Structure 1
């Protein structure tokens, strides 16, 4: 009989996720179940509200994914009202979303995922001269001297000796699956600390265009802050002036430098020691993108940077068109979720018809195991035409590659050549991690194109950032529905809204971590996390499931996006009243 292993919570992610895995006597994972252990209620909170303010509530779905839910929400309302936005507003949104991408991917790699591959304790035994030689051999990054790495080593050693490991505490240090030499561990650890400093500068793009971070401001119909031609003085609280725009240019350059000289070289260096992880952890083989980054204010898929489509069974030669408004394409199932539908547990609902009816039938905490034959998660099970789909950076990079996007083909080709791996290696845990890095390079480079286009418009006299034509609800139809979709850093994200008589009648958000982390569906098909864990995984040390963390973290889970808080009896812990 196989043993059942419980990992709860999965650490270094946003939100609460429980993984249960059955293992054979040799440590091979033979079954896996993913459970979101909190419940989402934002959809219920939004009912009856003014759709123009929905973004401010929807954006609070998560404190890490910050602006993406705001963008999806305003796009949903704009779609429902056939509300076009000016080209400048689209460029500003692209720059804000792109900054979120690069920030999120770098932070994920170094602070949420790198420690699955980097042994912090091993770094203490490294020779700083060897570390400097390694760093200088792969990059021209200026912070690569032996003295610099010696200082980093001393700082971390002091933490260890004083028992102040902090975020480095409770790791599986010394685990036999750690393969980096001490010099590489020290280099990655130094860059971990540098990334903490770097990220504070990156968020200035959000504060300049959106007033603050996290949760910058947005506006249905365009961008929230007007553009001023004033060049001097402090940044205005209500306008983006030329000083602010020059600051954004500087931040973009800093982002590109870190990605080019630190993030990309580190990923390739670490991956070279873990090439076996390019052969496990895929699972589904189906990939979905909604598409994103329009070049103009009009929704023309031909000018999107990231195309829309579906890939089935690894077949990159055939891109299936995706219509997320079609009732039979995107559906959510609750066969193994703690929800009820009017049509029964076996029904699948398109989000415009979606329901959020809570019904917790699981065990009372504390409990040893979930009853996985019944309901076992607060996450629903989204499906595209009945197929389990993976969303995220790997799906996007594969889609770009399949569509012939030259920068993607060039970057992927060079990386795979350096690692002496075929394209098929991307279908894996490490491929997922590498795709996130390649995507960061692609998007960071594209930010300069969008920035230059915005400046060109301004210099030509176009300062428009908002369309006022449909701001008055008296001009709206009695009933309208729309969908706001985008490619969030973690994958395909969409908010569906139904508006009746000027207020929200129904609202449903299907987020990337619901696509990936959802439980089995009515046909018993496992979700993307579950399938990936059952794809050639073997635990070297059963009570230190590092292998599980590696694959789950490669998706960059954000369970807070998929769930919100109730107590063990199912009662809300917090009620918010707005007068």
Structure 2
């Protein structure tokens, strides 16, 4: 087994025993995410981490010259699991460029489709993928002493979910056999049906267009959606209770576990669920309708809500290259010098980006990833912040709680929390759940937030249904607004993909796409070290974190590292292949080239 450079130890520390270990690929969807580490087994910590992407896709290149009206259909294919989020965001950008306000009923239908997508994707990811790392089989293999404690620890919310001990809960999440694992698969089918009622097809919508939707509104459409939603509310309530029990137990069983995946609180949320009564898609009013969203956009720095203004958020985006396989576009002329309000637009903004791929050999001292490094420029300090999305729900709940602007019958923010009231369901009474801002931005709190956001999406779906049915019963049938394609225009769309921030930036010249850049959450979370040497969020969350797994180098699973990375919801992390250095002894303190990983 690989042993290391044995450097001197400080007080209370063992000599470093560095072992190279990598997981590549982690994700199955375009399976190109790799995590490369050096682990100090002497001090039970991760000494170094690099996040890599081995695939260039080039959407920003081949979108040029296309008809802008095709953008939603093309960009949907960016992802095979949340393609509708791209369609929605693209349509938002197009509607700004075309100068159109979509009909209110059409907006409620879009919101209902997106709520169903959050319900589907978050449940599938949380219960069928994330909890594999917390299930009985995995804990038995990596932390048998923790499983022994779990066998004798009563589950505090047994009255809600029905499992007597924490170990019983862990068994319920065992892949293919556990009862909760199987129930989650059933829920994913029901929520997909809900989605298809509104958007036609999962995951590439067939009824979503700039200007509205092609969905035929009727009372039956919405009651079919409602009947399915109510059938899963019991599961949603139980899931929150189960997640709280397991995650609270880990803090208790492994003192210090809050450090796993922990990083500075640097969060970005671009907002979700438009308010049809307010949104008009004009850039000039973007701050107004952005703040009316039912998930509040915002940037959080060290627990402080810095801004909720979508204009500020937009202008602060910078695309840095750093350790990525691209040439700089500094010599290229800008597409957009000023926004519609007259504010200057930076040359490193997505509106002005030119994608210039420059393939090369992976070098952890130089270039090593096909992901660029999106950053947000903080004008207060002059820093380029490596914002993360908290896996999506963590940032969404955090900004919404602090902004204290959401107030519906089912979901409301308080300034320090988000309260979600779900009605009486098949077996459980009405219940009010409360997500409170935690003291850490770490793996467990990112995962915990996901369960609460499933409840959030369910509560908002109930509200959207009521509003849509009121319009239909009042005789409103309009779901689409016609428009003319402009010869020249710019637009930007802001939305939340399942796993976090999503923006589409569009430039039209001569009636065609002159520039188009979609920025989903994975480039933000999985970016490499940027031009200033700042690591991306995956790298930052894993590097220097402690290791609690009881196995040594010979049978190490890396479960703490996997929990940290998976907490960000990096697309669909399921197939894990491992490489442990091939017997090399490390003689240098910098990162040498790691070998390719194959199962």
Where on the TM-score scale, by shorter chain, does this alignment land: which range?
A: 0.7 to 0.9
Q: Which moved more, 1:503-512 or 1:184-193?
A: 184-193
- The CA deviation string for residues 298-319 of structure 1, in whole angstroms up to 9 with x for no partner, is 421342111122111x233x43
Specify the SS of the correspondent of 1:34. Answer: strand
Match of residue 492 from structure 2: 483
Check whether the contact 2:116–2:191 (CA below 8 A) recurs between aligned residues: yes
Question: C-alpha distance in 1, partners of 2:156/2:244?
Answer: 14
- The CA deviation string for residues 322-377 of structure 1, in whole angstroms up to 9 with x for no partner, is 445778510111121111123279x9721111122211112xxxxxxx42111111
Match of residue 242 from structure 2: 266
Specify the SS of the correspondent of 1:340. Answer: coil
Alignment pair present for 1:251 and 2:228: yes
Aligned ranges for residues 122-137 of structure 1 at < 5 Å? Answer: none
CA pair 447-14 structure 1, distance change in 2 beyond 3 A: farther
CA pair 114-121 structure 1, distance change in 2 beyond 3 A: closer
How far off its partner does 1:410 sit?
A: 5.3
Q: How many residues align?
A: 487
Match of residue 193 from structure 1: 182
Aligned ranges for residues 144-543 of structure 1 at < 5 Å? Answer: 182-188=167-173, 189-217=178-206, 218-227=208-217, 241-261=218-238, 263-275=239-251, 276-296=256-276, 298-299=278-279, 300-312=289-301, 314-316=302-304, 318-323=305-310, 329-343=316-330, 349-362=348-361, 370-385=362-377, 386-391=384-389, 392-404=392-404, 406-407=412-413, 409=416, 423-468=437-482, 470=483, 472-473=484-485, 476=486, 478-538=487-547, 540=549, 541=551, 542=553, 543=556
How far off its partner does 1:113 sit?
A: 0.5
CA RMSD of aligned residues (A): 3.1
Q: Which moved more, 1:443-452 or 1:280-289?
A: 280-289
Alignment pair present for 1:138 and 2:158: yes
Check whether the contact 2:157–2:242 (CA below 8 A) recurs between aligned residues: no
CA pair 516-122 structure 1, distance change in 2 beyond 3 A: closer
Match of residue 560 from structure 2: 547
Question: C-alpha distance in 1, partners of 2:401/2:314?
Answer: 29
CA pair 352-137 structure 1, distance change in 2 beyond 3 A: closer
Question: C-alpha distance in 2, partners of 1:3/1:15?
Answer: 24
Check whether the contact 2:290–2:310 (CA below 8 A) recurs between aligned residues: no
Q: Which moved more, 1:504-513 or 1:5-14?
A: 5-14
CA pair 62-548 structure 1, distance change in 2 beyond 3 A: same
How far off its partner does 1:91 sit?
A: 0.7
Check whether the contact 2:124–2:184 (CA below 8 A) recurs between aligned residues: yes
Match of residue 20 from structure 2: 4
Alignment pair present for 1:86 and 2:95: no
Aligned ranges for residues 5-44 of structure 1 at < 5 Å? Answer: 5-11=21-27, 15-24=31-40, 25-44=42-61
Determine which structure has the larger strand proportion and give its number.
2
Q: Which moved more, 1:547-556 or 1:198-207?
A: 198-207
Note the residue ranges of structure 2 that are not aligned, 5 or more in a row.
6-17, 145-149, 280-288, 333-345, 378-383, 407-411, 422-434, 574-599
Q: 1:100 aligns with which of 117, 135, 140?
A: 117
Determine which structure has the larger helix proportion and give its number.
1
Note the residue ranges of structure 1 that are not aligned, 5 or more in a row.
147-179, 228-240, 363-369, 415-420, 561-579
- When normalised by structure 2's length, the TM-score is 0.75
- The CA deviation string for residues 220-260 of structure 1, in whole angstroms up to 9 with x for no partner, is 10112232xxxxxxxxxxxxx43322111112212333211
Question: C-alpha distance in 2, partners of 1:51/1:12?
Answer: 30
How far off its partner does 1:537 sit?
A: 2.5
CA pair 467-196 structure 1, distance change in 2 beyond 3 A: same
Match of residue 558 from structure 1: 571
Question: C-alpha distance in 2, partners of 1:224/1:34?
Answer: 41
- The CA deviation string for residues 43-93 of structure 1, in whole angstroms up to 9 with x for no partner, is 222211111111111000011112100001111111111211011111111
Check whether the contact 2:400–2:418 (CA below 8 A) recurs between aligned residues: no
CA pair 185-280 structure 1, distance change in 2 beyond 3 A: closer
Check whether the contact 2:132–2:138 (CA below 8 A) recurs between aligned residues: no
Specify the SS of the correspondent of 1:331. Answer: strand
- The CA deviation string for residues 484-532 of structure 1, in whole angstroms up to 9 with x for no partner, is 1101221110011111121111110111011111101000000111110
Question: C-alpha distance in 2, partners of 1:257/1:550?
Answer: 27
